[in-house]
Chains A and B, each alone.
Chain A
Amino acid sequence: MAVGRSPETDHRSPVTPMPYAELHCRSYFSFLAGATAPEELVARAHQLGYRALAITDIDGVYGCAQGHFAAKDLGLRFIVGSELTVRDDLSPLTCDGQWSGQRLVLLAANQRGYANLCKLLTIGRTRVGKGSSWVSWDEASSMSEGLYALSGGSDGPLDAAWRRQAPDRALEWARRLKDAFGKRAYVELTHHLAPGDDQRIIAMSQLARTVGLERIVSQDARFGSPVDKRIYDVQTCIREKCTLAEAGRLLDFNSERYLHSAAEITAHFDAFPDALANTTRLIEHFEFSLEELRYRFPDYPLPSNETPFSHLHQLTYQGARQRYQPMSPRAAAQLAHELAIIEKLDLAGYFLIVYDIVRFCRRESILCQGRGSAANSAVCYSLGITAVDPVKMELLFERFLSEERDEMPDIDLDIASDRREEVIQYVYRRFGKERVSLACNVISYHARSAIRDIGKVFGLSLEQVDRAAKAMDRYFSDPSPQGVPTNHFYRPAPDDEVLDSQSRARLRHETGLDPADPRVRQVFAMTRAFEGFPRHLGIHPGGMVIAAGPMHEAVPIENATMEQRTVVQWDKDDLKSMGLIKIDLLGLGMLTAIDKAFDLLRRHQGTDLDMARLPQGDRHVYDMICEGDTVGVFQIESRAQMNMLPRLRPRTFYDLVIEVAIIRPGPIQGDMIHPYLRRRNG
């Protein structure tokens, strides 16, 4: 520890490092209050030889899924936790006269603890508007089972009370912690070589002894490496709406809130060996892993003496008899093959739920259509989820569902946009509001949005920021390599690393910003570092997650900006990786148009059509398509498609499939279009 340390310690011989685990660390999913990605934190912890790492973002477990899988890959123990904002009469008042929240670190020790943590986060997040959260002390203490509580470091109630020179409050908080969590409550000892840290760590240590709480060492880390402090400072300025020059002491005193090596920590806290030992001992109590996440898809209400599979089997063949008239041996074989895989993967319930939604749409005359890889399934075709016969079209079922791929199937439903809300409300009614939630969409910084915020932080004028933002797409259009997070450690790159000389000259000409100016260079370098950083949560366009039990026991739920909408704290990728099934209910305006067209045909020509019985070989339609006369025609209305149509000259539905598939970034960049056209034209 730093107390009484002499300058000699800088030169002392290295101490033997004790094993260490970090139990209090924020990732960039603390939204402008943490500067490093969960994967990078995990990688650094692994590199430093930590025994375990807990990611404890503010009022959420947003980064836990990513952290969990990164840790799993590296063989590092990962602990799920969060900094929970607790508001109470012991909390100090804000300048608005409200109780200000203080943050306790809660760590899930077991399944019950994880469910309680999610429940507390859900209570806090859904109580107030988007972006805020708090729970009362009574709520936190009543759901303490399975949770370990740390005093919260510098944002925690003990440190805050000590800073405010209110030792009685610090004592009261410590007693409360002990009463509620018993031996599962710990006082965190942190030291960041900042003024007052020596006194504070002694005070916290004495407080723990007075109340009879154990002490642990934590770093209360906000970033992985010292250079990330710069990102953290910029985040602080964005959060506090000030420039770096104005921020002054709002910024941290130094860069010490990073993950130190075990040797450094051992040297740092050598006066508290018991606390160091407690830290590593404590991790043995955490038996919960996100692998054990108890998520179950909801049960479909079945007729008596039916299993989900038997019922699906029956419904599939009922539907197939209508779709395939007569049923060909190929179709029968395909259905049998698909049903066998579905049974093997125990996915009958999922198909039944989707069928239930489609049936509702049909009953309510809402035009709805399965899209994407689900069209490769004859079962989906038979159930009426899709309208394309995969047998006839010779589509590959394994693209949709495969035994080899450890993935859940993904059925997306397009619904007439003007009636999508009815379907969503039906899902809420059918499965219960607490079991259904929308998936979130993590809105990340892109170059343009990043430079707007960062430019202001560096003191650029609004006009300069605006011009720079408009220029960003041209200068920073190269995406980061796939799979590599763009939030690599910030470093003040030389300007030639950020922009080549030609780009620098153009930038100067177009924006008036001099790339040689150190401030401008810093802005651009920081912008690059910020790309991919989460900024806030949005709502996924249509992804609904449905659970058999209360959703908040699997993942915390929070309010979305849109009224009466809640989202889970994981986005579609996290949901997928955690095995939570999402059904996409997407609004599509073209379906509304088709629905109206069907109605007109019915009324004026007496023709009753549906999507599956649309005639597919109308010569006049293909003539128009070949001329590129496709304004407003779904999928082939873009300029690129309209340019391609006269060259490809589709005459069958399959030609259209090719047309849609080939005008994509991959085939275009792979220069596949002209070879295909040449081959097609002989």
Chain B
Amino acid sequence: MMRIACVYLPSFPLQVHVRNAPHLAGTSFAVAELGERPKIAACSRLAWEQGVRPGMSATQARAIAPDVQIAPGQPELYQRTMQSLGESLMAFSVTVDISDGDPPVPRNKSLYLHVPTGTRGQAFGTALLAHLDKQGLRGRVGIAAARFTAWAAAAIAPKKETKAEPDKQLSLAAVAPENPNFVRATTTVPRGGAAAFLSPFALELLPIEDEVRQMLHTLGIHTLGDFAALPPPSVGRRWSSNGVDYQALARGDGPTVLTPLTPIEVIVETIDCDDELSDLEPISFLLRPLIDRACERLRGRGMAAARLQLTLYGPESSASPPPQVVIAPSRPTLATQTLLDLMRAKLGELSLEHPVLSLRLEITRESEPEACELDLFDHRDATVSADAVDIAIARLQAALGEDSVSSAELVDTHRPEKAFKLTPFSPPRKDRKRLRRAKRKLAQRKQAKSERADGEMILPLVLSDMVGAMRLIEPPQVQPRGLRALNVGDCTHKVVASHGPTRLDSEWWKDDSTQRDYYEVETDDGGRYWVYKAEGEYYLHGIFD
């Protein structure tokens, strides 16, 4: 049976606000619940030290700590952050549940993951905590066989990191991260030891109605162990709400089902600035966590960034549309540094008309991550790294325009000047099914072509006017008996030999179908030219090197 890890995020609203506006860290700050008489839902350590406590009214809090900043709660932001965190955690486990069906403890949030088989609990927990750090969040991890047990293991701070020995009388309010006693830890409940682990915990952990709890206290039932020891028929589901068997929870036999998270379609990450920013340098600084988070979410989806769009929002009074920067690495990547470098290169060319107040990063195209061909070899031997190419392309696009950088694609045609085309540059996308199909088709085509009669045309190294009209040999020195001389530039050359014709007659179904007789012509100065005759006129198509 798969074990469940609970990631417990105390004072979640507070953490989200600090994450979204990093300048709030270390200040006296509180988040108030919504409503006519808002109450403090969470407060920072400084506010705590000044006497602000969750549950106070905003007025009370201001009376105690006049400089405390009280922000209204933003449920939508919290939900988005949970989604973002959940998606990024999908890199650790295929099943991530952010539905938070636990006892509705105010201020705190928790999410659950299946621990992959064969993973050691402590190592898994440590990895999750490190990931939380990268996401700008703090929390604890509990690992057990059931959701409730895992939650309890995460919510109750252990005295030692490696061994779970919770304080019997620990108040839930004491676990807040702003509390100096907050411990970042992973608590692993041994297999079959859930009942013993839960036994000393206070009855308050169970979401039983207050009246019932009071009655139980009166009867001398103070801990989960006491409650679990009650004879089952006498309690059964009588006190349960929504069919939850509290006694089973107390025994560590609670629900184990997780609802897998579905990634939302477009990845968007936002961050607010400390002040109005007019310089691009601090903007670049804020970009890193933004890109980091986006990349972690992509990693969770098993995808990589193929195209990103950064929008710089200014004051609402600004009339001009917010400037946008788009980057498209040459291959889908999850390397934050590469994306950051590309973004900086593009930002370097941007001039701001108004100060920036917030940043919004959107992954406009994602694709399967591709191993770079250079990975096949020792990177030290590679003269040019793929990242450097990306940055160079980004700079070119920034300097010359988005359309200035193109990709060349081969075109399957007999017409030499149409044998390739330029397409807007975009990173290659990896679609395994499509690739397989294309490979199979290619093999079949190759087979069919190898059975074809015609050989390949040997093209000269230099083609004149690759696209568009061919250069006419002016004036055409056509004698009554054929081509005797040709003018290239200002020079006239006498033709001494020619080979051909090779007759091209293609694409009759198009308006620009063509019929040409190609010759390889040698002139008296040793030059070799590729000319063709069409409708009685001679044209120079290329020069052999």
Binding site for B on A (CB under 8 A): 2-12, 92, 94-95, 100, 153-155, 159-160, 163-164, 192-200, 220, 229-230, 233, 240, 244, 246-256, 458, 518-519, 522
Contact = CB atoms under 8 A, between A and B. Distances in A.
B284 interface: no
Given A8-B481, A95-B443, A252 B454 contact: yes
B483 interface: yes
B497 to A, nearest CB: 7
B509 A194 contact: no
B412 interface: yes
Contacts of B538: 7
A229 B505 contact: yes
B116 to A, nearest CB: 40
Band of interface residues on B: 35 or more
19 contacts: A5-B500, A6-B498, A7-B482, A8-B482, A8-B483, A9-B482, A10-B517, A95-B447, A100-B451, A154-B452, A155-B453, A160-B451, A192-B453, A193-B503, A195-B456, A200-B455, A240-B448, A249-B452, A254-B503
A47 B452 CA distance: 30
B422 interface: no
Looking at chain B's contact residues, the main secondary structure is mixed
Contact of A159 (B453, B500, B505): B453
Interface of B: 411-414, 443-458, 480-483, 497-506, 508-509, 511, 517, 519, 533, 538
A230 B451 CA distance: 20
B502 A194 contact: yes
Contacts of A233: 508
A11 to B, nearest CB: 5
Given A249-B413, A253-B454, A522-B509, 8 more contacts: A7-B533, A163-B450, A163-B455, A194-B455, A194-B503, A195-B457, A233-B508, A518-B511
Contact of A248 (B411, B501, B511): B411
B482 A251 contact: no
A195 B458 contact: yes
A318 to B, nearest CB: 63
Contacts of A192: 453-454
B451 A155 contact: yes
Contacts of A3: 499
A53 B444 CA distance: 34
A94 B502 CA distance: 29
Contact of A250 (B449, B483, B511): B449
B447 A5 contact: no
Given A7-B533, A94-B447, A248 B502 contact: no
B446 to A, nearest CB: 7
B434 to A, nearest CB: 16
Contacts of A95: 443-444, 446-447
Contacts of A244: 509
Nearest 10 pairs of A and B residues by beta carbon: A196-B455, A248-B412, A154-B453, A8-B482, A193-B503, A254-B505, A7-B482, A95-B443, A195-B457, A194-B454
Given A11-B480, A254-B505, A164 B453 contact: no
A193 B447 CA distance: 23
Nearest to B509: A244
B509 A4 contact: no
B4 to A, nearest CB: 50
B501 A2 contact: yes
A519 B508 CA distance: 11
A244 B508 CA distance: 10
B499 A198 contact: yes
A256 B533 CA distance: 17
Given A4-B499, A5-B499, A195-B456, A253 B505 contact: yes
Given A7-B533, A163-B455, A197-B455, A249 B509 contact: no
Contacts of A195: 454-458, 502
B482 A248 contact: no
Contacts of B453: 153-155, 159, 192, 194, 220, 252
A94 B449 CA distance: 12
Nearest to A190: B453
Nearest to B412: A248
Given A195-B458, A252-B454, A254-B503, A7 B498 contact: yes
Nearest to A193: B503
Contacts of B508: 229-230, 233
Contact of B500 (A7, A196, A518): A7
A2 B498 CA distance: 11
B479 to A, nearest CB: 9
A516 to B, nearest CB: 14
A94 B506 CA distance: 28
A250 B511 CA distance: 20
A192 B483 CA distance: 23
A610 to B, nearest CB: 61
A385 B455 CA distance: 63
A2 B500 contact: yes
Nearest to A244: B509
A11 B481 contact: yes
B455 A7 contact: no
A251 B505 CA distance: 10
B501 A5 contact: yes
Given A7-B519, A8-B481, A251 B457 contact: no
B498 A253 contact: no
A6 B501 CA distance: 8
In this complex, which of A7, A164, A240 has the most chain B Cβ atoms within 10 angstroms of its Cβ?
A7
Contacts of B483: 6-8
Nearest to A458: B509
Nearest to A246: B412
A194 B457 CA distance: 8
Contacts of B444: 95
In this complex, which of B483, B504, B506 has the most chain A Cβ atoms within 10 angstroms of its Cβ?
B506
A159 B503 CA distance: 20
Given A11-B480, A95-B447, A250-B445, A519 B509 contact: yes
B480 to A, nearest CB: 7
Contacts of B498: 5-7
A249 B449 contact: yes
Contacts of B448: 240, 250
A7 B481 CA distance: 8
Nearest to B440: A95
A247 B413 CA distance: 8
B511 A254 contact: no
A329 B506 CA distance: 76
A10 B483 CA distance: 10
Given A153-B453, A251-B414, A100 B505 contact: no
Contacts of B413: 248-249
Contacts of A251: 414, 506
A375 B499 CA distance: 72
Contacts of A199: 455
A249 B449 CA distance: 7
A661 B455 CA distance: 61
A322 B327 CA distance: 100
A246 B444 CA distance: 14
B533 to A, nearest CB: 7
A163 B452 CA distance: 9
A9 B454 CA distance: 23
Contact of B452 (A2, A9, A200, A250): A250
A255 B505 contact: yes
A582 to B, nearest CB: 37
A73 B516 CA distance: 39
A111 B533 CA distance: 50
Contacts of A8: 481-483
A155 B453 CA distance: 7
B379 to A, nearest CB: 35
B348 to A, nearest CB: 42
Given A11-B481, A233-B508, A248-B412, A256 B452 contact: no
Contacts of A100: 447, 451
B499 A249 contact: no
Nearest to B453: A154
B481 A196 contact: no
